[in-house]
Amino acid sequence: MKRKFGSVTVECVLGDITEQPDVDAVVNAANARLETGGGVAGAIHRAAGPGLAAEARPLGPIRPGEAVITGGHGLPNGFVIHALGPVYGQDRPEEELLAACYRNSLALADENGAASVAFPAISTGIFGYPVEEAAEVALRTVRDEAGDLRNVRLIRFVLFGQKDLEAHERALATRS
Ligand code: AR6
The whole-angstrom separation of Cα 86 and Cα 96 is 9
Q: Range with the lowest mean pLDDT among 36-45, 81-90, 166-175? A: 166-175
What integer pLDDT is reported at residue 19 of this predicted model? 98
What integer pLDDT is reported at residue 28 of this predicted model? 98
Cα–Cα distance list, 140 to 22, 98, 143, 145 (Å): 24, 11, 5, 9
What integer pLDDT is reported at residue 173 of this predicted model? 96
The whole-angstrom separation of Cα 21 and Cα 140 is 26
The whole-angstrom separation of Cα 129 and Cα 149 is 27
CB 118 within 8 A of CB 26: yes
What residues form DSSP beta bridges with 8?
Answer: 5
What integer pLDDT is reported at residue 175 of this predicted model? 60
Q: How far is the CA of 3 from the centre of ligand 1 (A)?
A: 25
What integer pLDDT is reported at residue 36 of this predicted model? 95
- Flag whether pLDDT at 176 surpasses 80: no
Q: pTM of the prediction? A: 0.98
Q: Is 124 in the pocket of ligand 1 (CB under 6 A)?
A: yes
Q: Is 20 in the pocket of ligand 1 (CB under 6 A)?
A: no
Whose alpha carbon is nearest atom 7 of ligand 1? 16
The whole-angstrom separation of Cα 108 and Cα 90 is 26
The SS3 assignment for 6 reads coil
Mean pLDDT of the chain: 97
pLDDT digits (tens, 9 = 90+) for 106-165: 999 999 999 999 999 999 999 999 999 999 999 999 999 999 999 999 999 999 999 999
Number of domains in the chain: 1
Range of the domain at 162: 2-174
Q: How far is the CA of 84 from the centre of ligand 1 (A)?
A: 11
Whose alpha carbon is nearest atom 13 of ligand 1? 160
Residue whose CB lies within 8 A of the most ligand 1 atoms, among 20, 40, 164, for a mutation test: 40
pLDDT digits (tens, 9 = 90+) for 57-72: 999 999 999 999 999 9
pLDDT digits (tens, 9 = 90+) for 90-108: 999 999 999 999 999 999 9
The whole-angstrom separation of Cα 105 and Cα 44 is 16
CA-only gyration radius of the chain, Å: 14
CB 109 within 8 A of CB 117: yes
Banded model confidence at residue 47, pLDDT cuts 50, 70, 90: very high
CATH no. for residue 160?
A: 3.40.220.10
What integer pLDDT is reported at residue 101 of this predicted model? 98
pLDDT digits (tens, 9 = 90+) for 65-91: 999 999 999 999 999 999 999 999 999
- Flag whether pLDDT at 20 surpasses 90: yes
Q: Is 34 in the pocket of ligand 1 (CB under 6 A)?
A: no
